[in-house]
Amino acid sequence: MQKDIRRLSLILLFAPFALWIVLLILLPHVGMVFLSLREKIAPRVYEFGFANYIEFFNEPIYWNTLVRTGSMSLLVTVLALIIGFPIAYYIAKIAGPRVRGALFLFCLVPLWVSDLIRAFGWILLLRETGVVSNILQWTGLAAAPVEMLYNDVTVVIGLVYTVILFMIVPLASTLDGMDNSMIEAGYNLGGRGTTVLRRIIIPYAMPGIASGCIIVFMLTAGSYLTPILLGGKNSSWFTEQIYDQFITRYNWESGAAFGMLLLAFTSLVVWLGLRLTGQSLANTVTKT
Amino acid sequence: MRIKTTVTCMIAALVFGTASIAQAETLRLLTWGSYAPDELVQKFEAEYPDIKVEVTFSNNEEMIAKLRATGGAGFDLAQPSHDRIHAAQLEYDIYKPMDLSKIDTSVMSTVHLEGVKANTTIDGEVYSVPHQWGTSGLMADKSKAPEFKNWMDLCDPMYKGKTSMRLKRTILLGTAFSLGYDPFAAYADLDEYQRILDEVVEVLIACKDNIKAYWKGGDDLAALMLSGEIVASETWDSTAYRIYNENSNIVFVPPGTGALTWIDTFTLPRKAKADDAAYKWINFVLRPENVTIMSASTGAIAAVNGGQDLLPPDKKAAVTAAWSAEDIANLQFFANIPPGIEDMEGKALEKIKAATGG
Amino acid sequence: MVNSPSTDLECINISKTFGSVLAVDNVSFEIPRGSFFSILGPSGCGKTTLIRMIAGFEQPDSGEIHIKGKSVLNTAPNKRNVKMVFQHLALFPMMNVYENIAYGLRCNGVAKDEIDQRVNNVLKRIALPDVGEREIHQLSGGQKQRIAVARCMVLDPDVLLLDEPLGALDLKLREAMKIELKLLQHQFDTTFIYITHDQSEALVMSDRVAIMNQGQFEQVGTPQELYHAPRSAFVAGFVGDSNRWAGQTVAAAGSAVRVKTEDGLELLANPYGAAAATGGRAVDIFIRPEFITVERAGGARAAPESGHNTLNGVVDSLLFNGANSRALVRSASSHLIEADIVLTGGNEDLQPGENVTLIWPADQTMCFAT
């Protein structure tokens, strides 16, 4: 009786998690895989085949966009790391407890408004007749209106701004777990600031760096609104192509194939990154 | 004992609760943003107290995607454009035929009604009736670009960096017309259409340098135009009318080759559950006094007799400033999109976007 | 001040405040080369601040720190030849043992061959020659301890600072490590400064011990001096165990002084300092348990000689701890007194509830004016 109750409560506790995994993660992906393996022969006639994937590799526009999306996402990840690390270090090691809370809150601010509003914020700031351009003209730094919108640099700035919190939080929590005496020992044994950073702080923070980079890379590669709204005439983004396939071209089969390819591509990049830095996914998850 | 009473009460409440909801019929509208103004919805619910209106805003592509995902369930009335019904029905079977006897077709302007019927009749059954119509064309600031008249003027070096367009199928069609083709006629011969598209792509890639940015939505376009960052653009007529109210220098320009004309329809999804309520809504919004409320919200003209006269005054002024009689005679109605066209056009658009023109 | 070459470290009048708290208050001391020096004090007494200043992590508000006769106040922590073993050791978990030890050498730009030789050499000296390739988490507590010392010693420091490094170890290991640290210090022949709040660590290992309280040194001396000749009530109470009474002096009695305690006892005591030798002063009295003899009441022993104190009581309980066993005796005034006894396990042993007489010499009754 007692045992049955215990087993029942275990099942009840586990059920929401299992349902979540199966219904929201597993099933849709299985569905996507099936969808992506259907070839459209005629209206309402489909056949099993790899045509959608072959199509992707035969059309340079598609894989170029994927490579472009991947490399820009990597750039965003690196920038977020370079900017986020000092901030995380300040929050975890230098700031007092009250300032720390305020700073975390400050980093959260961008998440309080939707993607769309954030993008429009940047548009207001950076457009030719926008705030920054006007200030530059007013101070005499620019003679004519400056257009800072509609190019890749703006896309990168907007993305870094959006995702940097996801870099700072795991980094700060890893650094927070680091005993201050570890850093002092680094100096005490004769290390200079750069040596301590390179040989002690960064290796210690490596799980946090890895998990921050994974989250940021995934978010960036999968983002839609920011690159679309801030991007210029040539700024294609792979998610835009998936959307186009699904919605404008009614081509769910090829959209599903593109979705699976994006998933495979980002997973590959993450795997490579972990291999290169000698981290394991489990290590990354438990240490942060 | 007490638990039992509570449970009984809860079950009773649930039963009666759902019963009372079931009594009031729900009309689930799948339509364009602004196509169901609150004023009209409230008026409708006041007139038919047992019908509750639920509105989902969408666009042509998403309407089809949503209905395709459910096989035509989840909504009771949809409003796709007249050129998007035939192929979608053939391919995905998401709509059902209309019972025209339930609709007061006498108020509809004959040209639009017959046009839509012709477009949406499959196996002798009519799938749609017209609601409102409007055009895609051009818009220009007359104080800065007084000569602006044609699609290809967007690519005129005179306006370098001062024009914009939306990278969607409309601009492909406009460009094809201004190159002297009739793309709608070419729908019958897909090889021919592909040749036209190839030429259009070349022109638009060369034009990229001249364009400031591709706009993505009405707000986006209005900001570009009103700030003076661009002087001319491809546009939806409703957006142009809205801007005209803020700056009367900026007017809608029907292109020389004819403005591209769409008619938004009323169409029943295949698994719609409230057909009677849907017919009531259709007849309701086509009444003259309601047409004015609708047009004030949408900026489009109702496909009823004398629809233009039923526009609210500010829209009427914008329309008068834009249209001459010959422009109206010159309208190009979007033709039914046969299967496969979306893919061809999609690829063309991707090529333009990916080309490093400027 | 003359810096004799035999002095490794010299602190002159250093003070440090944090906000309104005076952490270190005008402390001066010098440590001869090659000695084991402990700073013993309760937590919060300022001992950690003091060695952090020596290491360079804090800057004193005033005063001078000399290492090998040279001021180091303007020397960055990483340039001082003072190494530190941290409280939780601060071994680098992402490096193996070899890399941990080689870290300091690499920072100093030592050639690869020499690093190899010196690391292996120091590992041999701490008797762990084969652990170089091990990861830190694979080591036992005692091994970690030795690696932490080796990591510093491989750099030949002038002074090695140890900040309560045994605190995290269990009792048995701590006992073993005390001896081991002392041996290591002998072997390396380097000056060790050892911070602790545990008196037995300080007494066992040190050549000299400083007792620190509220930012000041109360007394500096050999462990035996501190134990047998404390110069203040704080030192007497802090170092070693003792029974304590508060009371008042009545009058001098030769070299001793007569004291009336708060619970009404009259005791002969040995005054420490002139103030305690006069009548009418408030005093604290300390008697170490090992000087108290426990006699069964009505026993055969003759009355005690003069110059001894006696007190009757009842055995409350016995605290068996092998050679260090004690009896807790309750006096008539309900004061509990600890006295060392021998418990053999035979029938002769004291039993709780027995009436006893406690006897101890007057000159071991330390009396301090408060």
Summarize pLDDT for B308-348 with one digit per residue, the tens: 889 998 888 988 888 888 888 888 889 988 888 888 999 99
B133 with B303: CB under 8 angstroms?
yes
Size of interface A-B (CB pairs under 8 A): 77
pLDDT score of C3 = 45
Q: How many domains does chain B have?
A: 2
pLDDT band at B9 (very low <50, low <70, confident <90, very high): low
φ, ψ of residue B268 to 5 degrees: the values are: -95, 125
Residues 6+ apart with CB under 8 A from A205: A85, A171, A174, A175, A178
CATH number of C242-369: 2.40.50.140
Best B91, B164, B168, B170 member to test A by mutation, with max A CBs in 10 Å, is: B91
Q: What's the pLDDT band for C301 if we cut at 50, 70, 90?
A: low
Q: How confident is the model at residue B1 (pLDDT cuts 50, 70, 90)?
A: very low
CATH of domain A59-287: 1.10.3720.10
- For residues A113 and B142, the model is more confident at B142
CATH code (residue B344): 3.40.190.10
Domain span including residue B24:
2-133+262-307
The whole-chain average pLDDT of chain A stands at 88
> Would you state the pLDDT for residue C2?
46
Identify the CATH number of the domain defined by range C7-236: 3.40.50.300
Name the minimum distance, in Å, from the CA of A196 to any CA of chain C: 10
**Nearest-CA distance A186 → chain C (Å):** 8
Cβ–Cβ gap A192/C107 under 8 Å: yes
> pLDDT tens digits for B175-190?
999 999 999 999 999 9
C252, C247, C248, C243: which is closest to C270 by C-alpha? C252
- Reply yes or no on whether the pLDDT at A257 is more than 80: yes
The region, left, alpha or beta by phi > 0 then psi within -120 to 50, assigned to residue C256 is: beta
* Among A181, A182, A190, beta carbon nearest to C108: A190
- Same structural domain, B158 and B105: no
Q: What pLDDT sits at residue B219? A: 85
A82 or C173: which leads in pLDDT? A82
Residue C178 pLDDT more than 80? yes
Residues of C in contact with A187 (CB under 8 A): 57, 76-78
Q: What is the pLDDT of residues A23-36, one digit of tens each?
A: 888 888 898 898 88
Q: pLDDT band at B11, cuts 50/70/90?
A: low
Same-domain pairing of B236 and B274: no
Question: Are A181 and C90 a contacting pair at CB < 8 A?
Answer: yes
Position B23 scores a pLDDT of: 55
Q: Which amino acid is at C312?
A: N
Q: Is the confidence at residue A51, as pLDDT, over 90?
A: no
Q: What is the pLDDT of residues B98-140, one digit of tens each?
A: 999 999 999 999 889 998 999 999 999 999 999 999 999 999 9
pLDDT of residue B338: 85
Closest residue to C78, CB basis, from A182, A190, A203: A190
> For every residue of chain B, which 3-state class applies, written as one string?
CHHHHHHHHHHHHHHHHHHHHHHCEEEEEEEECCCCCHHHHHHHHHHCCCEEEEEEEECHHHHHHHHHHHCCCCCCEECCEHHHCHHHHHHHCCEECCCHHHCCHHHECHHHHHHHHHHHEECCEECEEEEEEEEEEEEEECCCCCCCCCHHHHHCHHHCCCEEECCCHHHHHHHHHHCCCCHHHHCCCHHHHHHHHHHHHHHHHHHHHHEEEECCCHHHHHHHHHCCCCCEEEEEHHHHHHHHHHCCCEEEECCCCCCEEEEEEEEEECCCCCHHHHHHHHHHHCCHHHHHHHHHHHCCEECECCHHHHCCHHHHHHHHHHCCHHHHHCCEECCCCCCCHHHHHHHHHHHHHHCCCC
Residue B167: closest C-alpha in chain A: A233
Question: Is the confidence at residue A264, as pLDDT, over 50?
Answer: yes
Residue A261 has pLDDT above 90, yes or no: yes
Mean pLDDT across C259-269? 87
Distance, CA of C121 to CA of B304 (rounded, Å): 100
Across the range A100-108, mean pLDDT stands at 83
Q: Given the structure tokens 């000056």, which residue do they identify?
A: C191
pLDDT bracket for residue A160 (50, 70, 90)? very high
Per-residue DSSP letter, C46 = S
Q: Does the beta-carbon distance from B91 to A250 stay under 8 Å? A: yes
Q: For C179-208, write each residue's pLDDT tens digit.
A: 888 988 988 889 999 999 988 889 989 999
Give the mean model confidence (pLDDT) for residues A223-237: 87
pLDDT at B79 over 90: yes
pTM reported for the whole predicted model = 0.81
pLDDT tens across A204-218, in order?
Answer: 999 899 999 999 999
Pair (B228, B183) in one structural domain = yes
Find chains touching chain B: ≥3 CB pairs under 8 Å: A
| Subunit partners of chain A (3 or more CB pairs within 8 A) | B, C
Mean pLDDT of chain C: 88
**Between A130 and C85, residue with greater pLDDT:** C85
Contact B346 A233 (CB under 8 A): no
Q: Does A192 touch chain C if contact means CB atoms closer than 8 Å? A: yes
Amino acid letter, residue C3? N
Residues in A closer than 8 angstroms to B90, CB to CB, are: 43-44
Q: Is B321 within a domain? A: no
pLDDT value, residue A285:
65
Average pLDDT of chain B? 89
Q: Residue B117 contacts by C-beta under 8 Å, 6 or more apart in sequence? A: B126, B128, B129
Cβ of B65 within 8 Å of Cβ of A246? The answer is yes
Q: What is the pLDDT of residues B214-273, one digit of tens each?
A: 998 888 899 999 999 999 999 999 899 999 999 999 999 999 999 999 999 999 999 999
- B246 and B268, same domain (yes or no): no
Whether C90 sits inside 8 A of A185 (CB atoms) is yes
Cβ contact A250–B208 (<8 Å): no
Q: Which candidate in A179, A189, A195, A206 is best for mutational testing of the C interface (most C CBs within 10 A)?
A: A189
**Domain map (residue ranges) of chain C:** 7-236, 242-369
Q: Chain B: give the shortest CA distance to residue A135, in Å.
A: 16
Nearest residue of chain A to residue B219 (CA atoms): A120
Taking CA–CA distances from A200, the nearest residue in chain C reads C92
Domain residue limits, chain A: 59-287
C191 Cα to chain A: minimum distance (Å): 17
Mean pLDDT confidence for A88-102: 88
Q: Given A61, A232, A252, which is nearest B213 (Cβ)?
A: A232
Residue in chain A lying closest to B337 (CA):
A249
Q: Is residue B314 part of a domain?
A: no
pLDDT interval class at C1 (50, 70, 90)? very low
Structure tokens of B32? Answer: 């364009």
| Section A263-269 average pLDDT | 93
Q: Is A124 exposed, middle or buried (0-12, 13-18, 19+ CB in 10 A)?
A: middle
CB within 8 Å: B354 and A245: no
Q: Is residue B320 part of a domain?
A: no
